[in-house]
Structure 1
């Protein structure tokens, strides 16, 4: 006897009688079935919180009408005057730049900000002011402007072995020194010393801070120790920063009003992009025909708002959402549903991409996955050839082949009960996390002049690519590995470390966190290279991919597959709830 593996997704009651729901209910014939004794696994994923009809019936706000757009233009002009006002001192201007970034509106002023940072980068180096020196250093590196760690030498003791103990009284300076230390590149010992020095003192300040520190500063310290500013994605975090900013005594009403107006205009744009990707997802029928996969098109879109933050990257966000959905689907085929024999067949079909005979050997549910992926790659290749004059298909196909082959390696480990070493695991896992096809497609979209030598560097998996994918993998493991291993999966980084070091979960987490910090040094090094083969926008997206993973899997929870409440609250604020 066989039984269909069906997952009936709950639909809000007021949609039950809609024609679209009746149409879907009558047309769903799942392509996946199995013998109950066949050992098929279940991911135990919750149904989608937002179905197709609820997304399509979203009433996008009128924030994109002429009145709101005109108001935004006026407010942008007022803030530009603040930035270039000669009466504003350098420290106040640096603080304004930092606030514009955290509020998610710095992109309106990028030319002015870069000009300010280039023209005044020496004036904020003050051997008596740790705060301004640290803030200026961080902003310069944040915008890719080279500045040496030697600017902090004047704050060291006479032997140069540590920072001066007297700095412990400068709480704001310590906080900025801590934040600046996370932009260190490989081999920068002064910044490593700064991180250790500032971290220890800030923790001590928190322990005895009942009356010493005001609440705003206290909150900033707690937030920074949890997640430094350099690791935070801009847009998904902007709303929470706005909530804190409006309560501050020094809140600038014009800046706050611009942030609010811009947030609502951008939300309307995001909703339109989400609706378009939702229509594509519905058209693929993957969620209906393969009910064991995660139906997470909204969460897939959320990722794109952090990875591709610039407003002009509408096409790229839609493209990336589709990639996320395809990676998630195929990942669930390998991790949950497919038998080892089926997974071998699927890998062979992908390796022989254009071989119709190999594809026809697949069970129907895998044929659907294969054809959905093939259609997407060809469509993207057509658009790239049309716009860039470069045929990318062979390169993007390679990234999908590498991904599927890495999935098969992990499937073999699982079925054979093999426990890899940490070295062996991470060698495969930085690919199996799915970042390589994401970065390949983004590379072709965000590279103005496509040169073959740069394409080859990208697809030989340059250090910038490896660093981005490694951060993505380690952050994912911190949030998902315990649940995945419990349901039946290969050991992840936490388990590999626990096996090798004979330690507990918390010690393993500390080790993974240190690995993430070390990988960020490599990512920072690549972002600061003046001879990088990659565009600024591509490197920004590569870094944001790692940041977004740390955002989604924060607190050691799975904010994607298991719909973590904190992430979903931020998601609702970004995509569905206008800022009042």
Structure 2
């Protein structure tokens, strides 16, 4: 039986009090509203703004984390430039930067743009201009744009290799903030967690934009106001979790409430998403010990009993469980039931989707427990059919929708329940990125099922490092499937799809460099400290 590292935070957030006073918060909000009006003014007379101006403004708003205040204006601006390319015939590095930025932003927002736009920047041999090799801004824009490739766009592979190689060559010659941006190539910009990007970009923007107007000030105010709410939620959730974790007495399970909340803020950080965050974190917090029960502690007979009780979804089913699972089972049912009180009359139907999703997840947990008991090593295809579901991402895709507003239509729930390509891709990326550090660090629990890396090694009779390279490539291919799915989805479902993309982005942070930041919470401590505790100087 494996033993997980204890929580690195203890009761820190239970006793921590956010630093903003009510009077200071009130004055900050008043100033923020004034600044929003000023920023809206930047979108006025939009017909007269060049493509370069539009894409620069949108990117800046997104990286500063204040784009959600201007969704309507941004949507209008992007639709205008969809059929309007940068100045025809322009082929300078700066023009390539603008073309790449337009390409990336439009694709990220679900608009199809042909990669042929880059052909005019190449010579007759198909190579980019040599002058580009010394232009880190354009190279970085090109690098990030190429990661919006779809599975059939092999030519963008060469773009990634070309731009990354020359950025690496320039790395030691660059000054801040470009040096920091080039050092972060392992996570392309569009896969970067928005809240972490904002935390870093505020400092970078401050260095290069000495007369930054309302954008920087609004970003700083917004960051601190949102963080104040996050800290209040984190305190309340920490109290909830401490009570739950102490009562269920499942000491073998991971104690990761803070990491769960950190993940939630990567999906939806906005103040308007408070209800959604609380539901997400509580459900995630309940599913984690459920996962650990199946994975590291329960016998196969106990796993079967737990699944039977979950399928019945009734308090009376606790009687069939071993005593140590009674309290957990009741807490699971009661906490999910309590969500109903926060849902409006027209939203209460959502609860049944979440309950069914948890039942389905339990079946997949049991499936893996049977594999473990039988020491069964499936083919990679068979492994993925189960494991892309058992990591819980298709379940969390439904849980995310429970608390959001108009995005969560019945059509969106039915879409998520059917595990469309975007949701499937999310689960597969989670599986691939989870299994690479799992293989490299070795098994911490003798009940662990064979990973996708091990399945591929056995199936193809190859060495571990070669299998890791294949699984890494499959993760990249799956990101491309997600890119394509987001551009093919009907517009009404795109907001729900983008939540799934945001959920998936955190995987790049959790498993960066072969670590497992969820199992080993200390790996994320500095990021969490920066996000929640280090002040952004306002003014």
> What is the TM-score normalised by the length of structure 1?
0.83
Within the candidate set 548, 552, 569, 2:526 is matched to 569
- 1:115 paired to 2:76: yes
Q: Tell me which moved more, 462-471 or 78-87.
A: 78-87
Aligned residue in 2 for 1:104 = 65
Aligned residue in 2 for 1:19 = none
Cα distance change, pair 207–236 in 1 and its aligned pair in 2 (3 A): closer
- 1:150 paired to 2:116: yes
- 1:206 paired to 2:136: no
State the 1:171 CA deviation: 4.0
- 1:377 paired to 2:336: yes
State the 1:557 CA deviation: 0.9
Contact 1:308 1:317 in 2 (8 A): yes
Cα distance change, pair 276–552 in 1 and its aligned pair in 2 (3 A): same
Contact 1:60 1:271 in 2 (8 A): no
> What is the TM-score normalised by the length of structure 2?
0.89
- 1:308 paired to 2:274: no
Aligned residue in 1 for 2:96 = 130
1:458-494 deviation line (CA, Å, top 9, x unaligned)? 2222222212222222222234454462432112222
Aligned residues: 529
- 1:464 paired to 2:464: no
Cα distance change, pair 405–482 in 1 and its aligned pair in 2 (3 A): farther
Distance across 1 between alignment mates of 2:182 and 2:8: 36
State the 1:287 CA deviation: 6.5
Cα distance change, pair 114–453 in 1 and its aligned pair in 2 (3 A): closer
- 1:236 paired to 2:193: no
State the 1:369 CA deviation: 1.9
Within the candidate set 150, 155, 172, 2:137 is matched to 172
State the 1:206 CA deviation: 1.9
Aligned residue in 2 for 1:277 = 237
Cα distance change, pair 81–504 in 1 and its aligned pair in 2 (3 A): farther
- 1:73 paired to 2:33: yes
Distance across 1 between alignment mates of 2:51 and 2:209: 20
- 1:553 paired to 2:514: no
Q: Tell me which moved more, 89-98 or 138-147.
A: 89-98
- 1:197 paired to 2:159: yes
State the 1:341 CA deviation: 1.4
Contact 2:310 2:359 in 1 (8 A): yes
Q: Which ranges in structure 2 are unaligned for 5 or more consecutive residues?
A: none
Q: Which ranges in structure 1 are unaligned for 5 or more consecutive residues?
A: 1-40
Distance across 1 between alignment mates of 2:412 and 2:18: 43
Within the candidate set 379, 387, 397, 1:439 is matched to 397
- Structure scoring higher RCO (CA < 8 A, sep ≥ 6) equals 2
Distance across 2 between alignment mates of 1:105 and 1:463: 29
Distance across 2 between alignment mates of 1:513 and 1:168: 27
Aligned residue in 1 for 2:178 = 217
Cα distance change, pair 276–44 in 1 and its aligned pair in 2 (3 A): closer
Contact 2:307 2:363 in 1 (8 A): yes
State the 1:221 CA deviation: 2.7
Contact 1:485 1:491 in 2 (8 A): no
Aligned residue in 1 for 2:359 = 401
Contact 1:390 1:450 in 2 (8 A): no
Distance across 2 between alignment mates of 1:45 and 1:322: 21
Cα distance change, pair 62–498 in 1 and its aligned pair in 2 (3 A): farther
Distance across 2 between alignment mates of 1:571 and 1:350: 33
Contact 1:286 1:369 in 2 (8 A): no
Please tell me the root mean square deviation across aligned C-alpha atoms, in Å.
Answer: 2.9
Q: Tell me which moved more, 225-234 or 474-483.
A: 474-483
Contact 2:440 2:514 in 1 (8 A): no
Contact 2:307 2:366 in 1 (8 A): yes
Within the candidate set 350, 359, 379, 1:392 is matched to 350
Describe the SS at the equivalent of 1:77. helix
Distance across 2 between alignment mates of 1:449 and 1:240: 29
Distance across 2 between alignment mates of 1:480 and 1:146: 36
